[in-house]
């Protein structure tokens, strides 16, 4: 790991033995701290195993206690948090609104941050109801709200700006028809409306589509057949300055009428570097994304799976370790093409298909190969499926701070 990256592993973490894992609790570089996703997992000496106890609210409180300890170990607090993502098990949805009071208790009032909540196929721990990941930054936070009143009642805002960075919440597109909120059944139209919202948030921070370095699309199963039609919407919004992108089919969106929820990260000013791998162009050239985009301090990598981009073929059969090897090999190739190394990576997200969960522990050895004994922070969740072929078991996205 780069000598500039600080691994944040609290000296006292009573819930778990941190030496057992191939990730750190948080990784910081240049004032940006990525925290690993946390569930309520803790070692129970009576059972001699790690468990998650209680209902959704009990587990949410434990998670925020753990995140508080990690933030403190990194010399930060909840006042530094710029973005949260809640990954929710479907069985916990009836109680999910009540977690807002817990968020407010820990995050406090007048603490602007972006937020996304999605319903996943399941969490890696079968007794977990929720997992929460966070990003925190040093510096003054400024809320971005184009004048939408409803956010006054919520624990997050449309976007937040810290120095040169802009972090948004997740958005689902809708339109007003005769005073009623309407979610079009045409996926491309709904995504077009979503980018209209995102464009207003970006404008509120004084940035444009060319400043976006990352998009993350959470895709509802109901629109998977229509989803390819959204490529032209992206071309209309980004022109030829595509960000790095990851597209994840989830169990469902919290808004049941929603087809796609999108969150973005943008960087104000600074030189933009688009990373494309020459030998991949035959199979990558027509996509509405770049393999990697660096702007300012941030380098975002598009989601990588078991596809070998030089041939377009899936490799590894149904072996999740072999598929993960291909995904991390792709990431290493992108980093090298840009003039960087795997040591610069501060965070990964591993999205695992349901039929890859049984052997997911094997992924740890692949991470050891690419990261040695100094690991980035990480989150792992089970998605509805990989967007592609049925044999694909895992997709990995990564971010580096240079």
pLDDT (tens digit per residue) in 206-260 = 999 999 999 999 999 999 999 999 999 999 999 999 999 999 999 899 999 999 9
How many Cβ atoms from other residues are within 10 Å of residue 279's Cβ? 12
Query: Do 167 and 202 touch, CB atoms closer than 8 A?
Result: no
147-163 per-residue burial string, b: 16 or more CB within 10 A, e: under 16 = eeeebeeebbbbbbbbb
Could you write out the three-class secondary structure of 58-100? HHHHHHHHHHHHHHHHCCCCHHHEEEEEEEEEHHHHHHHCCHH
Report the relative pairing of strands 292-295 and 272-275 from DSSP bridges.
Answer: antiparallel
Q: How would you class 181 by CB atoms within 10 Å of its CB: exposed for 0-12, middle for 13-18, buried for 19 or more?
A: exposed
pLDDT at 203: 97
Q: Which domains does the chain have, with CATH numbers?
A: 1-142 (3.30.1330.40), 170-269 (3.30.1330.40), 273-402 (3.30.1330.40)
pLDDT (tens digit per residue) in 157-189 = 999 999 999 999 999 999 988 888 999 999 999
pLDDT at 386: 77
pLDDT at 342: 97
**How is residue 245 written in tokens?**
């992108």
pTM of structure:
0.96
Residues whose CB is less than 8 angstroms from the CB of residue 147 and which lie 6 or more positions away in sequence, other chains included: none
Q: How would you class 6 by CB atoms within 10 Å of its CB: exposed for 0-12, middle for 13-18, buried for 19 or more?
A: middle
Beta-bridged to residue 395, according to DSSP, are 351
**Rounded-to-integer distance, Cα 158 and Cα 198, Å:** 9
pLDDT at 391: 87
**Rounded-to-integer distance, Cα 182 and Cα 390, Å:** 33
Q: In what order do the strands lie in the sheet with 141-144?
A: 141-144, 159-162, 165-168, 260-267, 212-219, 244-249
The tens place of each residue's pLDDT in the chain, 402 residues long, gives 666 778 888 988 999 999 889 999 999 999 999 999 999 999 999 999 999 999 999 999 999 999 999 999 999 999 999 999 999 999 999 999 999 999 999 999 889 999 999 999 889 999 999 999 999 999 999 999 998 887 877 889 999 999 999 999 999 999 988 888 999 999 999 999 999 999 999 999 999 999 999 999 999 999 999 999 999 999 999 999 999 999 999 989 999 999 999 999 999 999 999 999 999 998 777 899 999 999 999 999 999 999 999 999 999 999 999 999 999 999 999 999 999 999 999 999 999 999 999 999 999 999 999 999 899 999 999 988 777 677 899 999 999 999
Coil/strand/helix, residue 169: coil
Beta-bridged to residue 301, according to DSSP, are 292, 398
Which residue, among 200, 217, 125, 124, has the nearest Cα to 166 in the 3D structure?
Answer: 200
Query: Do 53 and 128 touch, CB atoms closer than 8 A?
Result: no
Query: Do 351 and 398 touch, CB atoms closer than 8 A?
Result: no
pLDDT at 275: 97
pLDDT at 3: 61
**Rounded-to-integer distance, Cα 261 and Cα 171, Å:** 5
């Amino acid at each position: 790991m780069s000598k500039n990256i600080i691994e944040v592993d609290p000296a006292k973490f009573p819930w778990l033995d941190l030496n057992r894992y191939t990730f750190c609790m948080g990784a910081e570089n240049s004032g940006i701290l990525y925290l690993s996703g946390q569930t309520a997992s803790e070692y129970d000496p009576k059972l001699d195993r790690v468990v998650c106890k209680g209902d959704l609210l009990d587990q949410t409180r434990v998670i925020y206690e753990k995140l508080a300890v990690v933030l403190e170990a990194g010399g930060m607090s909840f006042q530094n948090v710029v973005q949260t993502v809640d990954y929710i098990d479907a069985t916990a949805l009836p109680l999910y609104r009540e977690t807002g009071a817990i968020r407010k208790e820990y995050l406090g009032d007048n603490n602007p941050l972006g937020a996304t909540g999605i319903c996943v196929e399941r969490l890696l721990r079968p007794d977990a109801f929720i997992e929460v990941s966070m990003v925190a930054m040093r510096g003054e936070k400024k809320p971005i709200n184009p004048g939408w009143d409803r956010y006054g009642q919520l624990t997050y805002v449309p976007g937040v700006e810290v120095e040169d960075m802009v972090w948004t919440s997740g958005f689902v597109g809708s339109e007003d028809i005769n005073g009623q909120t309407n979610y079009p059944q045409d996926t491309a139209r709904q995504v077009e409306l979503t980018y209209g919202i995102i464009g207003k948030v970006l404008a509120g921070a004084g940035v444009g589509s060319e400043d976006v370095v990352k998009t993350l699309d959470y895709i509802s199963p109901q629109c998977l057949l229509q989803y390819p039609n959204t490529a032209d919407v992206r071309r209309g919004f980004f022109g030829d300055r595509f960000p790095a992108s990851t597209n994840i089919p989830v169990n469902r969106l919290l808004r049941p009428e929603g087809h796609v929820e999108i969150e973005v990260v943008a960087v104000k000013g600074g030189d933009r570097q688009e990373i494309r791998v020459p030998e991949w162009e035959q199979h990558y050239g027509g996509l509405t994304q770049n393999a990697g985009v660096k702007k300012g301090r941030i380098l975002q990598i598009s989601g990588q799976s078991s596809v070998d981009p030089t041939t377009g073929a899936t490799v590894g059969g149904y072996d999740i370790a072999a598929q993960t090897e291909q995904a991390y090999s792709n990431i290493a190739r992108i980093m090298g093409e840009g003039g960087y190394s795997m040591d610069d990576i501060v965070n990964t997200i591993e999205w695992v298909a349901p039929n890859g969960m049984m052997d997911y522990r094997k992924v740890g050895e692949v991470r050891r190969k690419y990261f040695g004994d100094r690991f980035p922070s990480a989150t792992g969740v089970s998605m509805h499926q990989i967007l592609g072929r049925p044999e694909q078991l895992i997709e990995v996205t990564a971010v580096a701070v240079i």
